[in-house]
Amino acid sequence: MQPSDLNNLKVAIVGAGYGGAAAAKALSLLGADVDVYEQANQMREVGAGIGLRPSTMNRFRQWGILDEIAKVSSPSDYFEILTATGDPIMKETWPGIHDFAEETKTHLIHRGDFIEALLGVLPEGMVHLGHKLETIQDRGDRSVLTFAGGETVEADLVVGADGIKSVVRRQLFSDKGPVFSGEHAYRTVIPADDAHGMVVDDNLRMYIGRGTKIYLLPLRHRNQVSFDITALCPDSTWAPQVTKDDLLATVEGFDERLVNITRDLDMNTVSIRAVYDIDPVDTWHSDSVVLVGDAAHSMLHHQGQGANSAIEDAGALADALRQADSLKEALALYQTTRKPVTDELQRISRQGWTEEEIDDVFPGQKPATAAPQE
Output the smallest distance, CB 159 to ligand FAD, in A: 11
Query: Which residues are within 8 A (CB) of 304 and not within 5 positions of it... i.e. 6 or more apart?
Result: 50, 51
Residue 2 CB, nearest distance to ligand FAD (Å)? 29
CB neighbours of 36 closer than 8 A, spacing ≥ 6?
A: 12, 13, 15, 16, 20, 21, 24, 122, 126, 127, 128
Contact 271, 187 (CB under 8 A): yes
In Å, how far are 2, 21, 128, 286 from 30, measured between CA atoms?
A: 10, 15, 20, 21
Of 156 and 162, nearer to ligand FAD (C-beta) is 162
Q: How far is the CB of 36 from ligand FAD (least distance, A)?
A: 9
CA distance 304 to 349: 9
Alpha-carbon distances, residue 271 vs 75, 111, 140, 328 (angstroms): 25, 13, 41, 41
Nearer to ligand FAD, 97 or 161 (CB): 161
Residue 30 CB, shortest distance to ligand FAD, in Å, is 19
| SS3 state of residue 361 | helix
Sheet with 49-52: strands ordered across: 49-52, 106-110, 73-76
CB of 40 to ligand FAD, least distance (A): 5
Q: Which is nearer to ligand FAD, 176 or 323 (CB)?
A: 176
Could you tell me the end-to-end alpha-carbon distance of the chain, in angstroms, rounded to an integer?
40
Burial label, 41 (beta-carbon count in 10 A; 0-12, 13-18, 19+): exposed
Residues facing 244 on adjacent strands = none
The CB-of-368 to ligand FAD minimum distance in angstroms stands at 15
CA dist 285 and 328 (Å) reads 9
Residue (117 or 161) nearer to ligand FAD, CB: 161
Nearer to ligand FAD, 6 or 299 (CB): 299
Shortest approach of ligand FAD to residue 299 CB, angstroms? 7
Closest to ligand FAD by CB, 20 or 367: 20
Closer residue to ligand FAD in complex, CB, 1/334: 334
> By the criterion CB under 6 A, which residues form the site for ligand FAD?
14-20, 37-40, 50-51, 131-133, 161-163, 167, 185, 275, 293-295, 301, 304-308, 310
